[in-house]
């Protein structure tokens, strides 16, 4: 079986899911490295562009509703968090084998950076699990339905979403009902009522939503919603609670983007600590 995370191929133009994250990091460098002129547009790898083209043109409201029906019943698999980490780790990213971390290493690098800064245990755990929704790839979903910046569907696209020009090919762009400012939503309805483009954030949120405190759930559900948490877009759909949630997402984001580059964590040595942490919040098995 072909591994959708592994080979650049029609429909899966990235060399691996991490290639999207490299791009995001270039687009949103650490504040001290940010140049006055942010020119990510011209030197983007063709695979990344093609990935966004597919993402923006295929993530319709209808597609999202279908994926919600398919996955949010959580009847695909039962497994514990550690098992899910090992399952995700079978998704090998070969884009840069010398420097690339495995999926477990990325997760632990994120959580270890949060731990070093003395944050609460739920925050450390959030770092550990935040990308587990990427197992969607192993269920056969194409890259553009697993990673990528997320955005609301069913209403007008913000030009603060990266590569907004690719939305022109989305069939929803030709449905006037879906192209008003609020679209199918009430003003200030709150993001809980807004359908986001389908991907690993929304999926994992539903798997873990009964077990973690609200700030953790916000970090998981909206960590790829860069148009909102980095660009300040879509406030017209948000409630007061959402504005608070975006603050939590912003606290999480630097650990996700900028913890890479430290030493790879010693997974086996850290495992007992993390198994204890997982047990503190989660049952032995979760429904995926």
Binding site for Fe ion (CB under 5 A): 131, 256
Angle between helices 103-116 and 81-89 (to 10 degrees): 130
> In 3-state terms, what secondary structure has residue 12?
strand
For the bound state, the minimum distance from the C-beta of residue 240 to Fe ion, rounded and expressed in Å, comes to 26
Nearer to Fe ion, 24 or 61 (CB): 24
Nearer to Fe ion, 131 or 172 (CB): 131
Nearer to Fe ion, 195 or 221 (CB): 221
Nearer to Fe ion, 131 or 242 (CB): 131
Q: What are phi and psi of 9, to 5 degrees?
A: -155, 170
> In 3-state terms, what secondary structure has residue 186?
coil
For the bound state, the minimum distance from the C-beta of residue 134 to Fe ion, rounded and expressed in Å, comes to 7
For the bound state, the minimum distance from the C-beta of residue 225 to Fe ion, rounded and expressed in Å, comes to 11
Nearer to Fe ion, 194 or 220 (CB): 220
Nearer to Fe ion, 89 or 239 (CB): 89
For the bound state, the minimum distance from the C-beta of residue 93 to Fe ion, rounded and expressed in Å, comes to 12
Decide: 174 and 229 in contact? Cβ < 8 Å. no
Distance CA 76, CA 22 (A): 30
For the bound state, the minimum distance from the C-beta of residue 200 to Fe ion, rounded and expressed in Å, comes to 6
Residue 209 in tokens:
């939503």
Cα torsion 182, 185, 186, 187: sign: negative
For the bound state, the minimum distance from the C-beta of residue 223 to Fe ion, rounded and expressed in Å, comes to 5
Long-range contacts, 212-217 (Cβ 8 Å, 24+): 212/122, 212/125, 212/126, 212/281, 213/122, 214/245, 214/248, 215/122, 215/123, 215/245, 215/248, 216/122, 216/123, 216/125, 216/126
């Amino acid at each position: 079986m072909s591994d959708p995370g592994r080979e650049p191929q029609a429909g899966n133009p990235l060399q691996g899911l991490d290639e999207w994250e490299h791009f995001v990091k270039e687009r949103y460098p650490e504040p001290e490295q940010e140049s006055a002129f942010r020119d990510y547009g011209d030197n983007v790898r063709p695979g990344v562009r093609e990935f966004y083209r597919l993402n923006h043109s295929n993530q319709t409201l209808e597609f999202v509703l279908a994926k919600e029906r398919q996955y949010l019943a959580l009847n695909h698999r039962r497994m514990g968090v550690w098992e899910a980490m090992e399952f995700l780790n079978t998704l090998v990213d070969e884009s840069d084998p010398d420097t690339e971390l495995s999926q477990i290493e990325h997760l632990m690098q994120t959580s270890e950076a949060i731990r070093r800064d003395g944050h609460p245990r739920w925050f450390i755990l959030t770092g550990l699990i935040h990308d587990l929704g990427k197992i969607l790839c192993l269920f056969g979903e194409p890259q553009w339905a697993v990673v990528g910046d997320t955005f609301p569907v069913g209403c007008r696209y913000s030009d603060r979403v990266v590569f907004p020009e690719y939305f022109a090919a989305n069939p929803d762009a030709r449905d006037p009902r879906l192209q008003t400012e609020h679209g199918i939503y009430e003003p200030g309805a709150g993001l809980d009522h807004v359908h986001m483009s389908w991907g690993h954030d929304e999926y994992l949120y539903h798997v873990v939503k009964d077990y973690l405190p609200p700030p953790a759930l916000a970090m998981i559900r909206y960590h790829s919603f860069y148009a909102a948490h980095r660009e300040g877009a879509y406030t017209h759909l948000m409630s007061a609670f959402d504005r608070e949630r975006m603050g939590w997402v912003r606290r999480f984001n630097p650990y996700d983007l900028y913890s890479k580059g430290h030493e790879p964590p010693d997974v086996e040595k850290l495992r007992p600590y993390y198994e204890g942490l997982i047990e503190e919040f989660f049952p032995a098995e979760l429904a995926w």
